[in-house]
Amino acid sequence: MSLENAPDEIKLAVDLIMLLENHDIPAETVLKALEIVRRDFEGKIPSPRKGEG
């Protein structure tokens, strides 16, 4: 199956999985790091202003 037409988030996920697996990083470490990354990127999403939406 080709990733050529896959959404960008799928392509990125596959790349990250391959990178992490190739470096033999323990699953627990990966999950902790991903939680940190998630919090960081969630902070970069603009919040809707009160009264909007």
The boundaries of the domain holding residue 21 are 8-42
Nearest to 30 by CA among 13, 7, 45: 13
pTM for this one?
Answer: 0.73
8 A C-beta contact, residue 20 and residue 30: yes
pLDDT tens digits, residue range 23-51? 999 999 999 999 999 999 999 999 887 76
* 15 assigned to some structural domain: yes
* 21 assigned to some structural domain: yes
pLDDT tens digits, residue range 2-16? 889 999 999 999 999
Cα–Cα distance, 32 to 35 (Å, whole number): 5
* 35 assigned to some structural domain: yes
CA distances in angstroms from 17 to 5, 25, 37, listed in the order given: 18, 10, 15
* 53 assigned to some structural domain: no
Q: How many domains does the chain have?
A: 1
* 14 assigned to some structural domain: yes
Question: Cα–Cα–Cα angle for 34, 25, 36, nearest 5°?
Answer: 15
